[in-house]
């Protein structure tokens, strides 16, 4: 699907998403601001923002090798953390003033000991012990872990995170979620004004720049998109389900083959905004805990929530009038490997065409993927 958008705002967001360091971070650091890296959205950005620190979601954009990280990890470990650790060993995260490593999956959890053993920057490394079960009884435990996390940030950065500042941060992030929802709503149109590849860039930029500026830019972009009258033709409306997806490798192939990527359920997709955090309560930490444990358990690392994850996929497929779904997993990502395996039979029962493939973090086998996507379109009767 060819883009019909010309926008300086989009070009700015795309530039921010295209690398690890970007002008917004450079400006933030120039004015004395602190930056906190974190893995996985199970780490609430709200706590970091409330401390006056800029959250940066860890990516390995631009990485081409894991040669240094392979001293610490084996080839059986997930590609993504290995590439991130390799970037750390190369000094590409030295601008960070701290890093949060959650217990979201085993490979990311093991980053902690290797990070400390290697003695690389930043020196402040905190492990956030996120719960792994979507049950009411776990909300209190999650709140306890958030309180420990809060105290650790306050002690290290010598700040106080008040309930008021945390409420303000929750409202700010909820605004982002509502704006992102509006962005995706545009993709329900018969001829969306923004492509799937462009949407990836907009979503990735959200965790790589100050949130106030991101919201301002996204509002401006939505105004521009609302004025576009697109009549782009395409063969089929497709959806991606899986891990990662902070690059445009698969979405670019889908669009090159003449299809439209109209939605996704990935680590940078709708599960980031399908719910908002409760505002106005007396206990913002509890609101965050409930949000993480009960409201958004859409990652397969959360036990007891597969039915919710399946329902989200089915709802997205219906609302975006999806013709077929492509499952995407990184090599060595066991949680998503199991989830995609279960989805295969469940989507077959629902009558939704589905294929899946495993990929390395560094895009490869482009020709094979093109062939599979082309065959998938033909199977659905959406070929030439």
- pLDDT tens-place string over residues 88-108: 999 999 999 999 999 988 889
Residues of the chain with pLDDT > 70: what percent?
A: 98
pLDDT of residue 184: 97
Highest mean pLDDT among 316-325, 338-347, 370-379 belongs to: 316-325
The tokens of 82 are what? 């290995």
* pLDDT(298) > 60: yes
In Å, what is the CA distance from 327 to each residue of 116, 203, 207, 213, 299?
A: 35, 19, 24, 33, 14
Question: Who wins on pLDDT, 367 or 83?
Answer: 83
Q: How far apart (Å, rounded) are the C-alpha atoms in residues 55 and 98?
A: 10
pLDDT of residue 57: 96
* pLDDT(1) > 60: no
The angle subtended at Cα 94 by Cα 12 and Cα 203, nearest 5°, is: 30
- pLDDT tens-place string over residues 222-247: 999 999 887 888 999 999 999 877 88
Full 3-state SS string of 275-339: CCCCCCCCCHHHHHHHHHHHHCCCCCCCECCHHHHHHHHHHHHHHCCCCEEEEEEECCCHHHHHH
Q: How far apart (Å, rounded) are the C-alpha atoms in residues 235 and 155?
A: 55
Residues β-bridged to residue 238:
261, 324
* pLDDT(384) > 70: no
pLDDT of residue 4: 58
Q: How far apart (Å, rounded) are the C-alpha atoms in residues 334 and 340?
A: 10
pLDDT of residue 121: 86
Short-list 102, 96, 107, CA closest to 146: 102
pLDDT of residue 352: 96
What mean pLDDT is predicted for residues 4-16? 89
pLDDT of residue 250: 86
What mean pLDDT is predicted for residues 42-60? 96
pLDDT of residue 332: 81
Short-list 279, 204, 213, CA closest to 244: 204
Q: How far apart (Å, rounded) are the C-alpha atoms in residues 161 and 365?
A: 48
pLDDT of residue 104: 87
- pLDDT tens-place string over residues 187-228: 999 999 999 999 999 999 999 999 999 999 999 999 999 998
DSSP 8-class letter at 379: H
Identify the band that residue 179 occupies on the pLDDT scale cut at 50, 70 and 90.
very high
CA atoms within 13 A on the CB side of 43: 28
- pLDDT tens-place string over residues 335-361: 888 899 999 999 999 999 999 988 888
Residues of the chain with pLDDT > 90: what percent?
A: 74
Q: How far apart (Å, rounded) are the C-alpha atoms in residues 344 and 349?
A: 9
- pLDDT tens-place string over residues 252-296: 889 999 999 999 999 899 989 999 999 999 999 999 999 999 999
Query: Chain-centre distance of CA 233, in angstroms?
Result: 28
What mean pLDDT is predicted for residues 8-27? 95
Highest mean pLDDT among 2-16, 95-109, 148-162, 243-257 belongs to: 148-162
Burial environment of residue 2 by CB neighbours within 10 A (0 to 12, 13 to 18, 19 or more):
exposed
Detail the DSSP E strand segments found in the chain.
35-38, 54-57, 98-102, 125-128, 237-242, 260-265, 324-330, 354-359
For 150, other C-beta atoms within 10 Å of its C-beta total 19
**Contact status, residue 379 vs residue 353, Cβ threshold 8 Å:** yes
Identify the band that residue 3 occupies on the pLDDT scale cut at 50, 70 and 90.
low
């Amino acid at each position: 699907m060819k883009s019909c958008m010309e926008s300086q705002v989009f070009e700015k967001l795309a530039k921010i998403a295209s690398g690890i360091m970007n002008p917004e971070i450079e400006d933030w650091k120039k004015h004395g601001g602190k930056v906190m890296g974190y893995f996985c959205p199970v780490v609430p950005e709200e706590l970091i923002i409330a401390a006056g620190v800029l959250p940066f979601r860890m990516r390995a954009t631009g990485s081409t090798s894991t040669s240094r990280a392979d001293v610490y990890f084996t080839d059986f470990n997930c590609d993504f953390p290995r590439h991130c650790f390799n970037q750390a060993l190369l000094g590409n995260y030295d601008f960070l003033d701290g890093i949060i490593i959650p217990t979201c999956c085993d490979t990311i959890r093991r980053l902690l000991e290797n990070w400390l053993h290697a003695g690389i920057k930043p020196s402040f490394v905190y492990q956030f012990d996120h719960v792994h079960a979507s049950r009411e009884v776990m909300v209190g435990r999650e709140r306890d872990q958030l309180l420990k996390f809060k105290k650790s940030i306050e002690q290290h950065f010598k700040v106080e995170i008040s309930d008021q500042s945390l409420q303000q941060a929750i409202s700010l992030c909820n605004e982002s979620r509502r704006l992102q929802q509006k962005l995706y709503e545009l993709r329900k149109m018969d001829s969306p004004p923004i492509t799937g590849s462009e949407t990836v860039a907009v979503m990735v930029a959200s965790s790589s720049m100050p949130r106030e500026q991101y919201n301002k830019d996204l509002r401006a972009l939505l105004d521009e998109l609302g004025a576009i009258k697109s009549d782009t033709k395409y063969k089929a409306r497709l959806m991606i389900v899986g891990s990662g997806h902070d690059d445009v490798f698969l979405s670019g192939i889908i669009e090159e083959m003449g299809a439209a990527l109209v939605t996704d359920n990935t680590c940078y997709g709708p599960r980031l905004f399908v719910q908002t955090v409760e505002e106005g309560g007396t206990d913002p930490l509890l609101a965050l805990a409930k949000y993480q444990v009960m409201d958004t358990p859409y990652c397969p690392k959360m036990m007891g929530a597969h039915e919710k994850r399946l329902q989200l996929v089915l709802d997205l497929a219906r609302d975006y009038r999806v013709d077929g779904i492509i499952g995407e997993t990184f090599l060595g990502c066991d949680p998503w490997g199991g989830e995609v395996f279960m989805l295969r039979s469940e989507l077959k029962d629902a009558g939704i065409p589905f294929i899946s493939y495993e990929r390395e973090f560094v895009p490869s086998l482009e020709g094979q993927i093109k062939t599979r996507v082309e065959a998938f379109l033909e199977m659905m009767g959406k070929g030439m």
